[in-house]
Structure 1
Amino acid sequence: MRSTFMGLEIARRGMFTQQSALYTTGHNIANANTPGYSRQRVNFEQTEPYPAASLNRPQIPGQMGTGVKAGSVQRIRDSFLDLQYRNESNKLGYWQTRSDAVAKMEDIMNEPSAYGLNTAMTKFWEALQDLSVNPENEGARAAVRQRGIAVAESFNYLHKSLEQIRTDLGQEIKTGLLDVNSILKQISELNDQIKAIEPHGYLPNDLYDKRDLLVDELSQFFHVKVETVRSGGNALDIAEGIYEISLINEDGSLTKIVTKDGYSNFSVDPSVSGDPTNPDGYVSSLKIDGTSITISPDKIANGRIKSLIESYGYGTDSNNITGFYPDMLANLDKMAYTFLKLFNEQHKLGYGLNGNQGVFFEDLSNVKGAAAAIKVDNRIMQNLDNIAASSALDANGKGESGNGKNALALTSVKDITITNGQANIPGVGPISVPITGGTVQTFYQGLIGQLGVEGQEAERMKFNTETLALSVEERRQSVSSVSLDEEMTNMIKFQHAYNAAARSLTAVDEMLDKIINGMGRVGL
C-alpha cells in the first residue's frame, strides 16, 4: 500500500531539484565572463517508481512515479572541439612567434629605405666616383672617408642589433620553459584534487575548466596529446578522470610530461657558457627532469618553444649553428669580409697623394664577427692623403696628379663577379672569399629578398592559423559559453517549476488536513 504522505515527498523532491537547477543557473550567470568557464546543467532523473517488481507487490493498475532528482551537475563541453582548438593553437603559437622574430629583423635591416646598409654603400660608391674626377680635392677625400665610416658603422649596427634581439630570444626560451613548468605543476595539482573528489561520486566541474584552460595554454608552447585515466572508486561514468599529457614529437613519438603520479620539468641545455643569452651560445638540447630524457631541437614538438629555438639557433658546436638569426649574422659576416677583402686588395694597387700604399679598412683574419669588427684603417683616419685614388706615381714618388683611375676601379668592386668562392681582380689574381657566387651587391639583395619572402610566409601563415583558431574557438564557445538570454529563460522555467511543485505541496497538505482533521466528525 502506498504511503499517505507520498504526494508530499514527490512535491518536496520537485522543489529541491528545481532549486538545484536555479542555483546552477545562478552559478552560470555569475561566471559568464570567467575565462575558460563552461556552462553547467543539472541532469534531471526520475526517482525509482512505486512499487518495485516483487511477488508481494500491491495490486494496483501500474507503477506510479515518485518524483525527480538531480542525478548530476555536468558541464557542457565538446572534447573534439577542444582537440581541434589545441591543434590550431599550437600552429598559431609557432607562426606568431616566427612572425614576430621576422618582423623584428625587418625593422633592423630597414630595407629598402633611405637609411639602410644599401643606401650607405651606394653613397660610398658615389663618393668614390666623385673622387675619381677630383683626386686632389680635400672635400672629395673627406667625403670618401666619411662614407666609408658610415658603411662600417652600418655593418656594426646591424650586427649589434641582431645580436641583441637574439639575446632577447634566448631569454624568451628560458621564460617560456618556466611558464611551461608552472603550467605542468598546476595541471598535476588539479589532477590530485580531481582524483580525491571523483571517487565520491561528484563531478568537480570548476576544476575541469581550470585544467582545460591550462592545457589550452600549454598547447601554444608544445604539440601535446591528452589521455584520460579513471579515478576509480565510485566515480560516475561521465567523470572525466585524470589527465596524462604527452609531447607529440616531430617524428611522431610521444614523451610523457604529466602522469597520474606527477609531472616533469623542462630545462634548456645551451652550450658554451650554459646560458642561452650568450652571443656565442646555442641550444643543443631540451632536457626533461635533468638528464633523464633529452630531446634534440629538430625533434621538438611544434609550437612556440620550437619557433624560439629555431630563431635563436641550435646545433652541436659553435661552428655548426643553425637558426634564423645566426644565419643572417653569418651572412652579414660573409658580406662584410668579402667587401673588405676585395676593396682592400684593389686599394692596395693604388697610391695616395703622399705615394703611400695600404688598406682602406683594417684587415681582418676571421670571417666570423667581420660585420661587428669592420672599421676604417687608422692611417686613413689620421691622413686623407693615404686614400689611394691614383693608379701611378709621378717623378717625385707621389700619387700622379689628376690620376683618379684607382678610385674609379674601387667603384667597380661592387660589380666583381664571384664564382665558386673565387673573385678575380686585375693585377692581383684570384682571391678566395666566403661568398660563393654573384657580387657583393647581389648577395645583399638576395639576403633582403629572402627576408621579405620569410616575412610574407610567416605573416600569411599567422593570419591563416589565427583565422582557423578563431573559427574553432567560436564553435567551441557556441557549445560551452554562457548565454545570458538562455540562462534567463532557464531561470524563469525553473522558477515556474518550483512554484508549481510548491503549489502541489500545498494541495496535498490541504488534502491531508481534510483527512486528518475533518474525518470522524460526522454529526458533531
Structure 2
Amino acid sequence: MSGLFGTFNIGKRGLFAQQRAIDVTSHNIGNANTEGYSRQRAILETTRPFGMPSMDSQIGPGQIGTGVDVSTIQRVRDGFMDYQVRREKSTLGQYQARDKYLSEIESIFNEPSENGISNLIGKFFQSWDELSKQAANSNARTVVAQQSAALANELNHTYSQLEKVKENAHDSIKQTVFEVNGILERLDKLNQQIMSVKVSGMEPNDLMDQRDLLLDQLSENFNIKVENDKFYSVNVTPGDVDGLGSDVNGLLVRKNPNDAVRRFSYVTGMEKIEGKTDLYKVTYLRNGDKDKPETITVKMTEEEHKRLDQTRVLWSQKDPNNEDKDGLIIDKNGGEITSGSTKEFKDLAIFALDNDEDRGCLKGYMSVQKDVDNYMDQLNKLAKSIALSVNTIHSGHTSAGVPTDPIDPSSADYMPFFVNKDKAKYENDKINNLGDVLTGEAEITAKNIAVNEEILKDVMKIKTRIHDDQFAYAKDNDIDGESDGKRALAISELKNTLMKIQDIDPKKMTREEFIKKCTGKDGLVDDVNSVKTIKSDINGMKTDNYFKDCVNKLGIQEQEARRVVKNQEVLLKSFQERRDSISGVSLDEEMANLVQFQHAYQANAKIISTVDELLDVVINGLKR
C-alpha cells in the first residue's frame, strides 16, 4: 500500500539495509589483517513494488517502490587467481625442498676446499709419487698409509652424511604426509559445513575463506585439482593421480559424505626377509599415524626397492565407518591390502609424483632422494675405482684370487692395500679371514673402504718394487734393492690414467670385471718402468676429474634450484598482490563506504522522523 505508512516502511527497510551494510563493512575492517580473508560486500536490491499488473489494478502514474533490502552478502573472490597462486605455490614448494637439501649436500662435499675429497685424492697420489723417490724411507711410507687412510675416512664420512640427508628427507616426507592428511580431514569437515549453510539459504563466506586457505596450504605439498560442485562444495584430487588405475578415483575431498575418499600412508621401513632375495617386510603407518603401524610382504627387485625407498608414500583409503579398514593401503585397482598379506611391487599404489606436470614439496623431497642415491653411487664408483686399481697394481694380480696353504704367491693377493672393512677381521694386527676379505673386495664402496690395518701397523709391508708381485709379502723379495720405488710410481701414475669409472657397478665388481670393462683390456700391460699397469681408455676419465664432474653437476643443480626459488618468489608475490587487489581489504575504501552508509542511515532515520511528524499532523491535527 502507498501513503505515509508505506513511506514509513520504506524508511524502516532503508534503515535496516544500511545497518546491515555497516555490519559488513565493520566485519571487513576487523579482518583486514586476517590471513586468507576475502572482503565482503552487501548487495542491495529494491524490494517488490506495489502496482503489479492484475485484474483489479488501478491506473496510476507507475509502480510505487517499497524500498531496499540486502539480497546477499557477497564474497569477492577470483577463482582464476586462486588457480594461478596455487600452481605457483606448488612449483615454489618443490624447488624450496630441493634447494634446502641440495645446499646441505654441497656443504657435505665441501668443494673446493683443503679438506675436500678432491684435494685428498691429489695428496693420495702425490704421496705415492714421493714414496717412489724414497722407497726405503719409512716416513714416506707412513705418509702414504696415512694419506690413504684419510681419503678412505673422508669417503666413509661423506657417504654416512649423505645417508643422514636421506633420513632427513624421509622425515620431511613423513611429516608432510601427516600434515596433508590433517588438512584433508579439515577440508572434508568444512565442505560439509559449507553445504549445510548454503542449503539453509545463507552465504558461508567465512567458511569458504577457511577452505580456500587450506587449499592454498595443500597446494604447497603437491599440485591439486579443485572442481566446484553444488551448494558451493568442491571435489579435490591431485593434479595427476599417480599409482592408481584409470578406473579408480583419487578423490581426496568429496561433496557426498558417503563417497569413498583417499588418504596417504608413509612407509617407515623395508627389511629384506632372511633367505629370500626378493622378499621384503614393508612397514607403513596408516594415514601417517605413528600409532597405527602395519606390515605387508612385498616381492620386488633392487631397483623397485630403491624406487619405493625414494617415494615412501602409498595411497590408502578413508573409511570412518570401519575403524579396522580405515587407513589400509590400496592396490592399483582400489582394493584394500590387509595387514600381513603378500603383494608384488607392481600391484602397489605408489604416490610417486613422477610426471613432469607434478610439483610440490613432496616431489622436491622425492627427487632429492634420487639425487642423493645418484651421488652415493658415484662415490661408490670412485671408491671402487681407487681400491681396485691400486690393489691391482700393488699386488700385480688382476684377480684377488683364493689364498692357499702352503702360500702360493700366484694364487692370491696376500696383502691387499684397500679392504672392505665390513669383512676384514684382525687378530694380532693380522687379517685372520683373508679369503673373506678377498671375496668382499668386490663389494667395496665409499661406506666401507678402508686401508688394510696390517699396513697401517707396519708400513714396510707396502709393495713398492718391480718384482714384489712375485712374492706374497714384500719382505720376501730378495731380487730388488730397498730403494726400488717403480711400483709405487706406477700407482702414482694412476692419477693420469683414463678409466671408464662411469661404467663401474657401484654395488659389486671384481678386479677382473673392472680391468675388462673399465680399461678395455683383459689384463695389465707393461709400462716403461717394467711394472704391469692399467692402460688408459680413450673413453674414460681421470679419477679426480670424475669426482670434479660430480661436484660440478651438484653445483649446477643447486644453482638451478636457487634460481627457480628466487624467480618463483617474485612471480608468486606478483600473483598474490593481484589476488589481494581483488579480495583484500582496503581500509581507505572501507572507511569511505562506512561514511556513505552512515549518511544513508541518517537520511533514512530522517525520513522516519518526518513521517512521524506528518502522522502526528494527520492524527492529532485533525482534532483541532
TM-score by length of 1: 0.87
Which AA in structure 1 matches 2:69? Answer: K
Tell me what 2:254 maps to. 259
Alignment check: 8 A CA contact 2:233 2:255 kept:
yes
Correspondence for 2:449 among 351, 368, 374: 374
Correspondence for 2:525 among 426, 439, 442: 426
Alignment check: 8 A CA contact 1:45 1:71 kept:
yes
Q: Distance in 2 between matches of 1:514 and 1:359?
A: 121
Q: Distance in 2 between matches of 1:396 and 1:212?
A: 81
Q: Distance in 2 between matches of 1:459 and 1:390?
A: 52
Tell me, which stretches of 5 or more residues in structure 1 are unaligned? 232-240, 313-322
Correspondence for 1:389 among 464, 470, 476: 464
Alignment check: 8 A CA contact 2:419 2:444 kept:
no
Correspondence for 1:274 among 243, 263, 282: 282
CA distance 1:339–1:69, shift in 2 (3 Å): same
- 1:406 aligned onto 2:406: no
- 1:340 aligned onto 2:387: yes
Tell me what 1:37 maps to. 37
CA drift of 1:430 comes to: 8.8
Tell me what 1:237 maps to. none
Q: Distance in 2 between matches of 1:409 and 1:440?
A: 15
Alignment of 1:124-143 (within 5 A): 124-143=124-143
Q: Distance in 2 between matches of 1:195 and 1:250?
A: 26
Tell me, which stretches of 5 or more residues in structure 2 are unaligned? 272-280, 286-304, 318-328, 335-348, 398-408, 421-436, 469-474, 504-516
Tell me what 1:453 maps to. 556
| 3-state secondary structure, aligned to 1:297 | coil
Tell me what 1:200 maps to. 200
Q: Distance in 2 between matches of 1:388 and 1:443?
A: 27
Q: Distance in 2 between matches of 1:476 and 1:436?
A: 55
Alignment check: 8 A CA contact 1:422 1:436 kept:
no
Q: Distance in 1 between matches of 2:553 and 2:476?
A: 52
Q: Distance in 1 between matches of 2:224 and 2:447?
A: 41
- 1:306 aligned onto 2:304: no
- 1:297 aligned onto 2:352: yes
Task: Identify which range, 242-251 or 446-455, moves more after superposition.
Answer: 242-251
Q: Distance in 2 between matches of 1:285 and 1:177?
A: 8
- 1:153 aligned onto 2:153: yes
Q: Distance in 2 between matches of 1:41 and 1:181?
A: 34
CA distance 1:154–1:396, shift in 2 (3 Å): closer
CA drift of 1:520 comes to: 2.8
CA distance 1:287–1:7, shift in 2 (3 Å): same
Which AA in structure 2 matches 1:358? Answer: M
Task: Identify which range, 266-275 or 81-90, moves more after superposition.
Answer: 266-275
CA distance 1:328–1:275, shift in 2 (3 Å): farther
CA drift of 1:407 comes to: 1.9
Alignment check: 8 A CA contact 1:250 1:302 kept:
no
CA distance 1:368–1:212, shift in 2 (3 Å): farther
| 3-state secondary structure, aligned to 2:591 | helix
Alignment check: 8 A CA contact 2:316 2:330 kept:
yes
Alignment check: 8 A CA contact 2:396 2:532 kept:
no
- 1:438 aligned onto 2:466: no
CA drift of 1:3 comes to: 4.2
Alignment check: 8 A CA contact 1:170 1:276 kept:
no
Alignment check: 8 A CA contact 2:383 2:444 kept:
no
Q: Distance in 1 between matches of 2:477 and 2:218?
A: 78
CA drift of 1:507 comes to: 1.2
Alignment check: 8 A CA contact 2:497 2:534 kept:
no
Superposition CA RMSD, Å = 3.0
Alignment check: 8 A CA contact 2:156 2:449 kept:
yes
| 3-state secondary structure, aligned to 2:451 | coil
Q: Deviation digits for residues 58-93 of structure 1, max 9, x if unmatched?
A: 433111221111111111100011111111111112
Tell me what 1:238 maps to. none
Which AA in structure 2 matches 1:375? Answer: A
Tell me what 1:244 maps to. 235
CA distance 1:437–1:507, shift in 2 (3 Å): same
Q: Distance in 2 between matches of 1:3 and 1:369?
A: 102
CA distance 1:325–1:275, shift in 2 (3 Å): farther
Q: Deviation digits for residues 26-53 of structure 1, max 9, x if unmatched?
A: 1111111111000111011111112222
Q: Distance in 2 between matches of 1:177 and 1:335?
A: 36
Task: Identify which range, 273-282 or 34-43, moves more after superposition.
Answer: 273-282
Tell me what 2:572 maps to. 469
CA drift of 1:127 comes to: 2.0
Correspondence for 1:489 among 592, 596, 611: 592
Q: Distance in 1 between matches of 2:488 and 2:6?
A: 112
CA drift of 1:366 comes to: 6.1
CA drift of 1:472 comes to: 0.9
Alignment check: 8 A CA contact 1:45 1:68 kept:
yes
Alignment check: 8 A CA contact 2:121 2:544 kept:
no
CA drift of 1:389 comes to: 2.6
Alignment check: 8 A CA contact 2:467 2:477 kept:
no
Q: Deviation digits for residues 118-174 of structure 1, max 9, x if unmatched?
A: 011112222222222222223222222211111001100110000001011112112
- 1:359 aligned onto 2:416: yes
Task: Identify which range, 187-196 or 272-281, moves more after superposition.
Answer: 272-281
Task: Identify which range, 23-32 or 258-267, moves more after superposition.
Answer: 258-267
Alignment check: 8 A CA contact 1:422 1:432 kept:
no
Q: Would you say how many aligned residue pairs link Structure 1 and Structure 2?
A: 497
Q: Distance in 2 between matches of 1:276 and 1:439?
A: 44
Q: Distance in 1 between matches of 2:579 and 2:20?
A: 26
| 3-state secondary structure, aligned to 2:112 | coil
Q: Distance in 2 between matches of 1:258 and 1:443?
A: 49
Q: Distance in 1 between matches of 2:134 and 2:452?
A: 22
- 1:502 aligned onto 2:605: yes
